[in-house]
Structure 1
Amino acid sequence: MLGKTLTAVALLAGNAAAKIFYAGVAESGGEFGVYSPTAEVGFGLPGTFGVDYKFIDEAGIDVYVDQNKVNLFRVAFLLERLCPLETGLGATFSETHFSEIEDAVNYITVTKGAYCILDPHNYMRYNDPSQQPMTGSIIGDTSDPTAATTEQFGAFWGELAKRFVDNEKVIFGLMNEVCHPIVYISWQIC
């Protein structure tokens, strides 16, 4: 009995001494402004920065870092803003929207010295975020002729990674809330 008690105390003491390296907050906003009650494709796209969506709140970041010692921020965005429907998913970006994301990333990582997770908030879908997660074609669904391919998805990530290759504080979240069985097949193909 004494041995079990000492083991339990040792385990608790070990856990109490553990250091938490990452403490984070999700900065939602870059994925907003596109909901359509009538499922109107393209509704709210691209949207107006600072009105329909915003990637981060700098004052909020300041409070989290300076007062609460938070050092990790998830920055969510829509693929359709970075890769407009006119050009499709891939390595061709809207430079306007990329610049807005880059400004957010640089504020978090360079100005504040924290880490940033870039996270497309698309549920593994592309081309119609009007009523996510139920609208839009599933990336990699070969039975859907309007779906983006896994190659296009790979090209997107290749381009984004290339643009942030020199920033060691950028972390990539491949996709927010993948929520369809066919996606697991897509991931195996990638």
Structure 2
Amino acid sequence: MIDTDTSLPTSTENRMTLTVAARTVVADAVVELTLAHPAGWPLPQWTPGAHLDLVLGPNLVRQYSLCGDPGDRSAYRVAVLREPDSRGGSLAVHDILTVGAMLDTQGPRNNFALVDAQEYLFIAGGIGITPLLPMIATAEAQGIPFRLVYGGRARSSMAYVEHLENRYPGRVTICPQDEVGHLDLP
């Protein structure tokens, strides 16, 4: 639950209270939260494709894909799209969570693990880019060929476009719908 209490959190198996260490706008209506242990303790390991449950209020638990570096145990990163028709989760993240807020979490868990392959074709739409970021970085680090096709409504609403284009030149195709239409998946 969101709390402004600064006392040290308690931690049980897969449950932690983390602090919002940073809050960054990464695209129109998309905010990235950097979550860290308030005492600086290392966080549990995770693998590409994992998500973290954020407890945003009573009976309000939402899952968000971890989009940071799995090797960085100092913080978790999640990116959240503000949904106008939200049932409460994205609005809580955008309207209530500020740097320094304490947040109960559970996980990480991975139900979308990167499978071994000789090459990858990653296809992302909108905020669906988040679980693919650590997968792409892993493929790159392992020297496995990959391509990314990333579609969204408009370039300004697509998180991490500049990062992807700069870090992986020639392997990323950005397809904003307002510029090129819908992704031609066939």
TM-score (norm 2): 0.26
Higher helix residue share: 1
Higher strand residue share: 2
| CA radius of gyration, larger in | 1
